[in-house]
Structure 1
């Protein structure tokens, strides 16, 4: 919209017809954020008309009017509307809309105006009803409304902290706390309304990307409040402080580091765990003085541990650096730290961990710093994946071995791998010598009459096959059975056999085990095999053994002579690699290769440890195990191992 259209626009805004006003203010909200347009609009008396619309209209006309004023304030213009004798009425109207109006489009604009108003210098409207209304809006399903409500709360907190009771004019209007420590009461009122839980839920919701800026600002303000509480001070009752775990009856110096934040955490713990705290003090009072756990000092230590963990000192009130990584959604997990909002619960958990360590180690007062260090180390370890840390340690150990004994280690590894192959080959061959049951799938019958006819002719269903290697390892015997009998058949009862010297190749579709394969039962009482076994081992021989190897293209014709359907993946691995090893071929399944690797690696570790079988019977060398005398030594000594 051009500036020349402003007079006509103002005429329609002042019209008594609601439709004309609605269309005019709708067009106004799209153009008023242009500074040149806004300047002409203000100089033409547009603020008076806009104020009248906000005070008297409703529905979409009111929503468009609020949005127009919000966009005007965004370009830092139009603040004159809040000056003069009627400014209070306008602010009260906006606050009233937030408290009473249920329409989302009206609430968005009203909250945006209040955010700008509170953030503007020397603006202190009476906003007592605003926090409860903003808290209710945080539960809305509209993301924009949630963002505006949280921005309003952030502005109120920032204003309270920045003024700190020092702006008397603002105090008189009710925007900022009264002089002294009243700002803390304002923050406590927000917490009692459920602010922390509401923001914590927003951080865990799917609307994280839409609410990123106000959430990060609230997170920064939380750190500011924690730091401000730490820097605060309170009068202390100088009676019986030692019983609480302080070093003297005047513990003011012990709060120099943690400040009022340390006192707040301690009192919060006592208030929420009153019975447990009294019981703890009674238990400690029954102990000798040197064995008592310094509860208060432990609480202050946990407070500072959390303070350092969340790096509270590294944030400023208006620090914009936290918004730089918002573009990448992958950074959200590291950028947002919702546990910061659970400060009290973390402090309680850390203090209980301290008590457990103190009790488990039977510590004394002189061991306080050591126990605190152990607690800090535990907190550090919680940030690491112990399994991954162990893998890194072993990798570094292997690298150090490679640097010192690379050539020798390679020779030892090759030797141990050959030994492991022979060991695994013997194990696999033993499995073949013991024999195993296999499935033998039967073709599906299309109808019952065919099945009955074949049975009348003497045909017998044989769904099981048993195979076993002969003792001389030259023949593979097998036979088919109707049932899987508990006692394995003897070798002479297996009517069929395959000469291993005639085998040309062994082919299989053995793959990684799945859930079905794992659940396939190997219990000997099973009577009915699956109808569709998934794993198959096929043994081939040359069609013309005398002409094997004489083909011009090297592709001699083969034929299958035996097919086995293993019942489990492990059985398939044993028989497939066992047959291949009997034919002097390398194993191919992952299970067998893993077994070879484990045997060779354990052998290497035993070699490196220099463990010998006969050393267990020789006993320790002379003088081994004798502890030297400590006479003449101070506490700074060590044993050379």
Structure 2
């Protein structure tokens, strides 16, 4: 085996040499880039131990080991079986399975084969000459374990049992323990071994003890220990109970207060794993309750808020994902109540309904206070529950049979009534005093709002593997979801008033409220007060504008789809023809113009011009001020044949404007019809509309495009309306960017012939 003690000192020089060879030869065409599917030779640069970089052609028809043997023979490297190829930058081994990923011009390294490297490291670990040699071996092991080929060789040679035994016996401490845990975690991450087959009770206890320490433990050891336990919990249901019993969950809070982001991240990941994988069998000691009680503690919430969310450091993608998972699992604690129907035989739930009624109406004297515990089967006061806005006011229990939201809606209603009693009473009395048509029913509203919030927050759904959405405001209050509901029920009543809604508009109002809530949540408010402030700026008019803008954006996006563009091109000539006919009809009705004299452009006398029904002549003549209707063509003495018209000019190009001192407003309304031999019929339109109509009409008669602003506006409006009508049947159906491919014609049409 050849070695070179200077290799580490000249690595940067070697890289520069490789890059120079690679770039120069690629430019000169020495190394050609052959398409992957056709190449037989792969041209690369290889660094050999103790030798200068060499260019080499890997024969893809031969095995990788044969190529290594050939390379070693050319450059006099002994024992070729002891070597393998690595990527120069990533230090990842190249195998028969992965060599297709190597590109022409790549820089490779001839390195010690993984099996040989594993033998050497295990020898140093099991019988080290000095403690420093053992630490160095563990350090190298932790680095090389990220390579799957090396990791597989290490597992094959029974390296994992040695690592586990070293941790259990305590033979690795301090720096060596950090390297050992890193190597173990890296190797297990490759999925070569099953966690349940590897873990032992003693190993779990040892790792748990490292996690349970709340002092200034080594950051790397703590980080790796948290990672091992989290992976074990997620990948081994059998080990869950043992890990759950060994971990002191409350001690994890101390790790969240450390400034190390990786430790915080791994701590939250472990908590998430313990909560998510907790067994649902109530006969066992459930870890779910143990974790949920910890998550419900104010201290836990405050630490997450102050040391993780509000940290000055930016929250990375992985931390955002763990916070997303944590929040989803927290919300899912409401799932049991959300999916439970109200049972009138349960005294506690029946009392909540009666308490809700008493809080609303006791102070107004409608009912007497509950001085005693209500009877289990006592009838409900339908009059009061009707004012509370329940659909089934004779038996309001029936309103809570739909799941979701189930009993959760009643829990939120009673929280609102107890904690914001004055607001609740005012809200109920205000609505009950309205006539039935304009009443915003509190009971129905609360149930629908609860269902909507469950849907918006996806309560009951499992966290996604890539999700990063979380809402900081839910970490700012002990009863954040309940306070969230209180804000939303008040928002619904506010929006109800803004929309002047009636009972038939209930679904419309609820839809607007959903948009308001979602828009405010998307801004990621830092607190509930910030959320309320966002809602203040999202009144009904703002939501309406937003919907209109979204609809306009959607229409604009759809209009860019190729099938829609093709359809527009197809129907545009029809729309242009409609506008043309409208302009010609306008010319046939005629218009009164001011007569132009030599002294001034506008004279008090007037004249009239109109197009003949056959579109062949313009008839015109003077009219007096007493005219009340359009004169008949027979009364107009002058006429101009359209066949004699050469062109139409406007503005300053008109003969009667060129040499006159005309005001800009007059110039903008001027147009002239030029005809043979060199004559012109000059006009000053009474207003902009007539100018557009006449110039468009004359251009249409001359088979020229209609270019006025009014013509463009009419085309846009009519084309948009026509497109909407034609696409009406495709509402809510996505339009493809490109039209589908037309199938080829069949070879024959025998299928269309009737059976004989």
TM-score (norm 2): 0.44
Give the structure-1-normalised TM-score: 0.50
